[in-house]
Structure 1
Amino acid sequence: MTATLPRVDTAPAAAVKRRRRSLGWVAVVPLLAFTAVAFGLPAWAVLDGAFTVKSTGAYSTANLTASWQGAYLTALLGSVKLSAVSAALATLLGLPLAQAVVTSRHRALREAVLTASGVLANFGGVPLAFAFVATLGNAGVLTRHLGLTDKGWDLYSFWGLVVVYLYFLIPLMVLTITPALEGLRVQWREAAQNNGATNAQYWLHVALPVLLPTLLGGFVLLFGSAFAAYATATAIVGSSVPLITLQIADALSGNVLVGQENVALALSLDMVLVAGLVMAVYLPLQRRSARWLA
């Protein structure tokens, strides 16, 4: 006589699962609606205006073509140059500072540095510009005390703006690279030392190859942060240094030419494309770094 197992009805369980999934979508609807209104509508307005000729109302690529010529192209290249130089210097300076924080035996000092980095990484705009003008401007405290003007220092220049950007980019790099430095295995250093490797060889052949995706990802993140900065630059250099964010503001306000609002939208679209390229590079690097340091 064969025993018959009782039949388990999976229909109620499947129904409960479907109900939970539908409730999950309902809970996400407010977020999707907010995203569509806060980001979707402005993105559509930029896209529509960038391809619309203001005088005729017809769709054309004339605005995009104008944004890649003359002063607009110079401003775009100037922003790329400023962002690349600032991000590269912040990456080089932030790595040893983060390593010193990670290897510090004083927990209070480490927490203080990381907390300060979190604050300084978000400190920008007009307050930061005023602080630097009061400190390193033509009549700044340090400028007069150290005679920096006679030595060729000029805050209101390309390199002056780089120094200002480093004030918030270096702390951002410290926050970005610290988790990766903490993920380096102690066994890797011990294995390298057991095989006769020096500290420099360990960093050159073991640590830096592992950290390279995170370093490149941090550089890309810093580049995007510097590329999008506006208030600090406009408060310090005005129009003396060509930057795309300043050109967009001038075109929208009619400061130089009247009726260039749609060209400003085309410039904004150029920035979106650059930001998209930045994120396309950043996300794969972050995934690769997480795979090594997991």
Structure 2
Amino acid sequence: MGAAIDAAAADAVGDVVPARRPTRSLAWLGLAPFFGFAVLFLIGPTLYLITGAFQDRTGAFTFDNILGLFTPQIMAAYAISIQVSLASAALGALIGFFLAYAIVHGRLPAWIRPTVVTFSGVASNFAGIPLAFAFLATLGRLGLVTLFLKDAAGINIYALGFNLLSFWGLTITYLYFQIPLMVLIITPALDGLKGEWREAASILGASRWQYWRMVALPVLAPSILGCFLLLFANSFGAIATAYALTGSSLNIVPILLYAQIRGDVLYNPNLGYALAFGMIVITGCSNLLYLWLRARAERWQR
């Protein structure tokens, strides 16, 4: 009897609730431009570079281009590029963190935060020839700040050893877009610090320094390290600003790569592909570590 009742109830439910048919969502159609853009301008060129890195001029497979990366000139270029990227990423992360902390937890006027965030969104994308020209007009030998310091204070920064067309000159120029990028990325992480954690630490007798050392910084550490890696990758692949500012006076990898492919003096496109392959490996590792650290940080911010 019970089985018959259950079967009848199931039939009744089947009559009331129609069976669902699988449907294809049109939302995937909206992703078509993204996938098309990624294939045409990211995946396709990357595969082309990787393939060319292992070919000679006749198209035959070879490891000579990869072995050519270990010549003294190319190794020196990689070393300078890594040093510039590390310096700009470290200074950008440090200054950007304190700037973001000031606008999030500094109890400043309400209009400060949207103003700084808006400027950071613009400045983080300001690079290339306009940025190089701006710094030449400001800190060049005849720049506005250079002449002002010389006339008003009698300080000649170039006589003191500063040179905009040098390692530290390029690093300072990179900071213009590194600091705003750090502000944009670390601000949500600072927003994720819950007030209850500070209150609980205060109730337990922890000082401000103890709260930051034992609670806040361990929570923010994955985000800070992830931002540092992202800033490193961001500056490592920059070429337009460096080339417009220093020309060929500073032997960094992007400029050397440009010289190999353009072929004014050096012309070995397959070696250029190998240079690009090395940059892809370095920036790819940085981005993978950033994604891993961001995933760890998101666990605390939920």
For 1:185 and 1:49, how far apart are their aligned partners in 2? 51
Q: TM-score with structure 2 length normalisation?
A: 0.89
1:142 corresponding residue in structure 2: 145
Q: Distance in 2 between matches of 1:30 and 1:162?
A: 36
Please, which moves more after superposition, 269-278 or 43-52? 43-52
Deviation at 1:25, TM superposition (A): 5.6
Over aligned residues, Cα RMSD in angstroms?
2.0
* Equivalent position of 1:93 in the other structure: 95
Rounded to whole Å, the distance in 1 between the matches of 2:114 and 2:196 is 25
Name the aligned partner's letter for residue 196 of structure 1: G
Report how far residue 30 of structure 1 moved. Answer: 5.6
Q: Does 1:53 align with 2:56?
A: yes
Counterpart in 1 of 2:24?
A: 20
Q: Give TM-score, length-normalised by structure 1.
A: 0.92
Deviations 1:64-95 (A, max 9, x none): 11123221121112111110111011111111
Worse-superposed segment, 234-243 or 40-49:
40-49
Q: Deviations over 1:174-203 (max 9, x none)?
A: 111111111101111111112222212211
95-104 or 141-150, larger mean C-alpha shift: 141-150
Q: Distance in 2 between matches of 1:188 and 1:26?
A: 44
Task: Measure, in 2, the Cα distance between the counterparts of 1:90 and 1:285.
Answer: 18
2:140 maps to amino acid = G
Q: Secondary structure at the match of 2:131?
A: helix
Task: State which of 222, 226, 233 in structure 1 corresponds to 2:242.
Answer: 233
Tell me the CA shift for residue 36 of structure 1.
2.6
* Residue identity matched to 2:60: A
Q: Aligned pair in 2 of structure 1 residues 27, 207: CA closer, same or farther (>3 Å)?
A: closer
Is residue 282 of structure 2 the alignment partner of residue 278 of structure 1? no
Q: Which residue identity lines up with residue 158 of structure 1 in the other structure?
A: F
State the SS of the aligned residue for 2:283.
helix
Question: In the superposition, relative to structure 1, how do residues 215 and 31 fare at CA in structure 2: closer, same or farther (>3 Å)?
Answer: closer
Partner of 2:186: 177
Give the aligned partner of residue 248 of structure 1: 257
Cα deviation digits, residues 181-232 of structure 1 (max 9, x gap) = 1110111111111222221221111111100000001001101110111111
Greater displacement, 4-13 / 246-255: 4-13
What SS does structure 1 have at the residue aligned with 2:24? helix
Counterpart-to-counterpart distance in 2, 1:293 and 1:129: 38
Structure-2 residue corresponding to 1:77 = 79
Distance 1:25 1:13, change over 3 A: farther
- The more displaced of 138-147 and 28-37 is 28-37
Q: What percentage of residue pairs aligned between the two structures are identical?
A: 42
Aligned mate of 1:116, from 115, 119, 125: 119
The 1:62–1:206 alpha-carbon spacing in structure 2 relative to 1, beyond 3 Å, is same
Counterpart CA distance in 2 for 1:29 and 1:134 is 43
Q: Deviations over 1:234-255 (max 9, x none)?
A: 1111122221100010001123
Q: Does 1:289 align with 2:289?
A: no
The 2-side partners of 1:26 and 1:135 are apart by 48
Structure 1 residue 39 displacement after superposition = 2.6
Which position in structure 2 is the counterpart of 1:40?
Answer: 43
Number of residues of Structure 1 aligned to a counterpart in Structure 2: 289
**Corresponding letter in the other structure for 1:267:** L
Deviation at 1:148, TM superposition (A): 1.2
In structure 2, relative to structure 1, the CA distance for the partners of 1:186 and 1:151 (3 Å cut) is same
Task: For 1:202 and 1:225, locate their aligned partners in 2 and report how far apart those are by CA, in whole Å.
Answer: 32
Quick check: 2:55–2:61 contact (8 Å CA) kept in 1? yes
CA, structure 1 residues 143+267, in 2 after alignment: closer, same or farther (shift >3 Å)?
A: same
Residues 231-287 of structure 1: CA deviation (Å, up to 9, x unaligned): 1101111122221100010001123323x1110011111111112101220111001
Which residue matches 2:212? Answer: 203
**What displacement does 1:44 show?**
2.5
Between the aligned partners of 2:108 and 2:165, the Cα distance in structure 1 is 40
Q: Distance in 2 between matches of 1:124 and 1:159?
A: 17
CA offsets 1:22-69 (integer angstroms, 9 cap, x no match): x56666556434433333321222122111111x43110111111232
